[in-house]
Amino acid sequence: MSEDTPKPKSHGRLAVRPSLRPRDLMADAPDLAGVWTAKIITLFPEAFPGVLGESLTGKALTEGKWQLEKIHLREFGIGKHRNVDDTPAGGGAGMVLRPDVMGEAIDFAQDGTPPNREDWPLVYLSPRGKRFDQATAQRWSKAQGVTMICGRFEGLDDRVLYHYGIEEVSLGDFVLTGGEIAAQAMIDATVRLLPDVLGNAESIEEESHSNGLLEHPQFTKPAEWRGLPIPDVLMSGHHGKIAEWRQKIAEKITQERRPDMWDAYLAQRDKNR
């Protein structure tokens, strides 16, 4: 949606999508058919791609392995000043995002997307939502894309959430000034699971949370650093013993640091027996 969006290389045929809004609301890069897409409804489109434009996610964005569409909420605002918010009903501090404004933005964003939410989740980033986790990232990566609504001020008129059946997701048990940072974190976690983005499927399988456990410690050269050696088993070349050590230490770390994960891991392990 903004001029700083990296232009992806050709990747499949271009998709043609009708729009009820002016062309200046569209991204300058063309839609790429069949490419996983993150649509972001935000008051700060200039915040994107942000860190998503760097490293592996940035390279994948440039290569057209995923694409980003920024939808500026202000463009749907009311009146001369394009107001997007108003005072909360019943009184109270702050401002609330208007349902008529957000409704238009959502209609625009969802135009041409699959109606099945498993194929294209519609998400509101909210501190009262379900906590984002690796399973959510895996679910989104299997969809065709995701539309994210970045909240601001005191939040969004609840009728919008009810009307569209929007999924509420939280980055954690804390409050941010807006959803943009959370959106970037969630997109990063999802994009890296897309085919050919990381380039090493084994690294994904061994990461923290991927198998219900925190990841085992990692080491590299030199063999000894400031009096601290690499564990002998990792230098043994015995792959079976190395795998056994990594599993054992991952279980120990998870049990000590994340008892909630440990209990879930044990329950799943017992279920699979």
Closest-CA residue to 136 (of 149, 118, 151): 118
Over residues 245-255, mean pLDDT: 94
**77 pLDDT higher than 70:** yes
Residue 225 to residue 234: CA distance in whole angstroms:
15
Q: What is the pLDDT of residues 124-169, one digit of tens each?
A: 999 999 999 999 999 999 999 999 999 988 899 999 999 999 999 9
**257 pLDDT higher than 80:** yes
**104 pLDDT higher than 80:** yes
Rounded to 5 degrees, φ, ψ at 124 are: -110, 125
